[in-house]
A and B are shown apart, each in its own frame.
Chain A
Amino acid sequence: MTTPTEQFGEFYQRDRTIHPAAYTPGYKTSVLRSHQKALISLPNSLSDITGPQFSADELGALDNDLILNYAHEGMPVGERILVHGYVLDENGKPVPNALVEVWQANAAGRYRHKNDRYMVAPIDPNFGGCGRVLTDKNGYYFYRTVKPGPYPWRNNINDWRPAHIHYSIQASGFAQRLITQMYFEGDPLIPGCPIVRSINNEESVRGLIAQLDRNAFAAMDSMAYRFDIVVRGSRATLFENYVQGAK
């Protein structure tokens, strides 16, 4: 008899060398918010290989259109862009029905948040700065927005974040849960950013940089960027295992 986790593949062990460490003193806030004791490694159980399921009817029609989803009196100001790509797992397989949530500053680098301290940059009355979308059966997602501006922050006295869009991804299993940030090709602020540099792996940093995608431009309307996301893969998919499991 097979147990539930033998029947369905567990995730590949997470390769921690491709991720930032918890303690990265160049990013000052990490100093008091990083664990000092080793993580305890657990073999995957049902608790990890399962996760919340979302359906399209939970999202609104404009949830993936940041240009329109807070446009009260007119259009937001800024470079109009489309961002699109695929969510894949480590096996290269598309991840359908993944919840992708994004948030960002406006074109001036100002966040719509009660704690934002960059008060000299204006709030855009027509820009909220968040959106969400479920990947389709091919793992594909897209949303429309304005390109965010760079943003100063209190780390070193003159640190500026490169333009970035925050991403949250929930694929099929809770152990795939991931939050990251997407940067833009060619931004000269990327190499000097302490948050980017929390990652001690050049290939990983390249993986966070969206590429200008001329083929997806909409003529006389918007530019486009391509950003693919890779989440943890498992030893076998649920469907394949279900067949093999001789239930």
Chain B
Amino acid sequence: MNPVSTPVYLKETASQTAGPYVHIGLAPKQAGFDIFENNFGNVLTSPETKGERIRIEGRVFDGSGAIIKDVLLEIWQANAAGRYNHPADKQEDKPLDKSFRGWGRACTDFDSGVYSFETIKPGSVTGRNGKAMAPHINVWVVARGINIGLSTRIYFSDEEKANAEDPDMSSIEWVERRKTLVAQRSEKDGQVVYTFDIYLQGDKETVFFDV
């Protein structure tokens, strides 16, 4: 469309909270019923997917330190080679993994408040100026009481050097706050687990981005 013919921009539709029953629409099984044949979930891998299997898990805390149990999280990430499964990613030197969409959706458990994703560790994506970005996973958080979805990122504790050189991480002026984005690696029963807790408010507040 010729921009000259559309001098007036439309306004983005305003956000509203996802509410306490977000599961009905986005994760009906968690709401307590079965309706769709194909459900979107928290497992991003299939047997064919290339890369190191990892589990990401954590909890979400409010400003009183309470664990929030009605949160929905989505993640979006590159494949093991650092390429997104999307036509706008033209990093043709990196292979596309057709068995990896790179997206998943999880809910915090109503009892424990724990969320988790089964995925692979992403490779490094080329950033804006041709500079490598540290491996990271993009996270989007919605819940009752959150008026507009919160964007954050998971970086990895065993990528210290890459994290230190990451252009976006470095743009956070408050060095202490950068640590809120680093998931801690551990091993449980032979599985690699990264723990990533999110603090919505207060002293330990997670860095949220306006992207």
Binding site for B on A (CB under 8 A): 1, 3-8, 12, 14-16, 18-22, 24, 27, 29-37, 39-53, 58-60, 63, 69-70, 88-93, 101-104, 111-116, 128-132, 166, 168, 172-175, 177-181, 195-196, 198-199, 201, 203-205, 207-208, 229-233, 238, 247
Contacts and interface: CB of A to CB of B under 8 A. Distances in A.
B191 interface: no
Contacts of B177: 37
Nearest to A7: B90
Interface string B127-140: 11110010010101
Main secondary structure of the interface of A (DSSP, over half): loop
A141 B15 CA distance: 19
B63 A19 contact: no
A101 to B, nearest CB: 5
A30 B84 contact: no
Contact of B101 (A52, A131, A195): A52
Given A34-B147, A45-B168, A208-B14, 4 more contacts: A37-B205, A113-B20, A128-B33, A203-B11
Nearest to B64: A32
A138 B3 CA distance: 18
Residue of B15, B91, B151, B171 with highest tally of chain A CB at under 10 A: B15
Interface stretch (B24-32, B47-55, B157-165): B24-32
Contact of A115 (B20, B63, B64): B20
Given A51-B103, A90-B10, A114 B31 contact: yes
A112 B24 contact: yes
A37 B147 CA distance: 16
9 A-B pairs with the lowest CB-CB distances in the bound complex, closest first? A103-B25, A29-B145, A52-B103, A33-B145, A50-B86, A20-B147, A204-B14, A114-B32, A32-B63
A208 B16 contact: yes
Main secondary structure of the interface of B (DSSP, over half): loop
A175 B152 CA distance: 11
Contact of A52 (B76, B87, B146): B76
B12 A93 contact: no
Interface of B: 1, 3, 6, 9-26, 28, 31-33, 35-38, 62-64, 66, 68, 70, 74, 76, 78, 84-91, 101-103, 110, 125-130, 133, 136, 138, 140, 142-151, 153, 168, 171-172, 177, 200-202, 205, 207-211
Contact of A40 (B11, B145, B172): B172
Given A35-B201, A166-B19, A49 B88 contact: yes
A196 B18 CA distance: 13
A33 B149 CA distance: 12
30 contacts: A3-B129, A15-B11, A18-B11, A27-B147, A30-B17, A30-B145, A32-B64, A32-B66, A34-B63, A37-B207, A39-B210, A45-B168, A46-B88, A90-B11, A92-B6, A92-B10, A112-B24, A113-B23, A113-B32, A116-B21, A128-B33, A166-B18, A168-B18, A173-B88, A179-B16, A180-B15, A180-B16, A201-B14, A204-B11, A230-B13
B17 A195 contact: yes
Contacts of B127: 3, 5, 45-46
Contacts, number: 288
Contacts of B202: 36
Contacts of B146: 22, 30, 33-34
Nearest to A21: B147
Nearest to A59: B38
Residue of A19, A35, A88 with highest tally of chain B CB at under 10 A: A35
Given A20-B15, A203-B11, A207-B13, A70 B200 contact: no
Contacts of B36: 60, 63, 130, 132
Given A3-B128, A60-B37, A101-B25, A33 B143 contact: yes
Contact of B68 (A33, A88, A233): A33
Contacts of B130: 1, 3
Contacts of B35: 69-70, 128, 130
